Amino acid sequence: MDTIFRVLSDARRRRVIRLLRAREGAVAVSALAEALAAREPGDPEPERLVVSLQHVHLPKLEGAGVVDYTSDRSQVRYRDVALVDRLLEQL
């Protein structure tokens, strides 16, 4: 539970989870970054978001069991974690 709370403590990771929950199946990291750029303050560049996602946020989400990467790490999918779904509904 502590791991899930740490993962959800970051606004970008919450946005990532919400975006992935809304999609069926795996999503390309580049497409995720573009969708995220449209929802983040300050108009971040999608290229920078890809780096941030691949090196910081997605590994943390994967480590917590919230997402899965494809073997080449170019796509990610949400794992339908009931606790995460319930907590996000409360926020």
Summarised one tens digit per residue, pLDDT across range 39-66 is 998 888 999 999 999 999 999 999 999 9
CA distances from 27 to 21, 30, 77 (A): 11, 8, 6
Single pTM value for the model: 0.90
**Listed residue (44, 32, 39, 35) closest to 70, CA to CA:** 32
